[in-house]
């Protein structure tokens, strides 16, 4: 078995589950829909995705990532995006998203 960084096989980067009753759960995905990150591993971290902030009934701030397509937009692109942001994760502090970060993430 080859290490993932040197293999030409990219099956580990994603898959599309067309049998899922919620498929497609996000609109606007331009490439093959990647279901690998169904639950985004960046939910607790600061990230460049377009998210809103909601306050639950207990007063806790939570990210609403329903408008984000970054972890779903193509197998290789989504994989690389998640890996890059998990290299040095920063815990999300509950603040609103800076609109300029969304623009920067879309161009990467």
| Tens-level pLDDT at each residue, the chain (108 residues) | 556 566 677 788 999 999 999 998 888 899 899 999 999 999 999 999 999 999 999 999 999 998 899 999 999 999 999 999 999 999 999 999 988 877 555 555
Q: What CA–CA distance (Å, rounded) separates 43 from 20?
A: 21
Residue 23: alpha-carbon gap to chain centroid: 16
Residues 65 and 25 sit within 8 Å (Cβ to Cβ): no
pTM: 0.78
Contacts of 88 (CB under 8 A, 6+ apart): none
Which value, in Å, is the radius of gyration of the alpha carbons in the chain? 15
């Amino acid at each position: 078995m080859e290490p993932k960084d040197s293999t030409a096989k990219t099956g580990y980067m994603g898959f599309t589950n067309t049998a899922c009753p919620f498929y497609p759960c996000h609109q606007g995905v331009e490439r093959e829909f990647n279901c690998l990150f169904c639950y985004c591993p960046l939910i607790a971290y600061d990230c460049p995705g377009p998210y809103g902030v909601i306050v639950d009934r207990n007063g806790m701030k939570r990210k609403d990532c329903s408008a984000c397509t970054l972890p779903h937009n193509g197998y290789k692109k989504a994989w690389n995006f998640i890996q890059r942001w998990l290299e040095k994760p920063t815990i999300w502090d509950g603040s609103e998203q800076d609109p300029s970060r969304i623009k920067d993430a879309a161009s990467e």
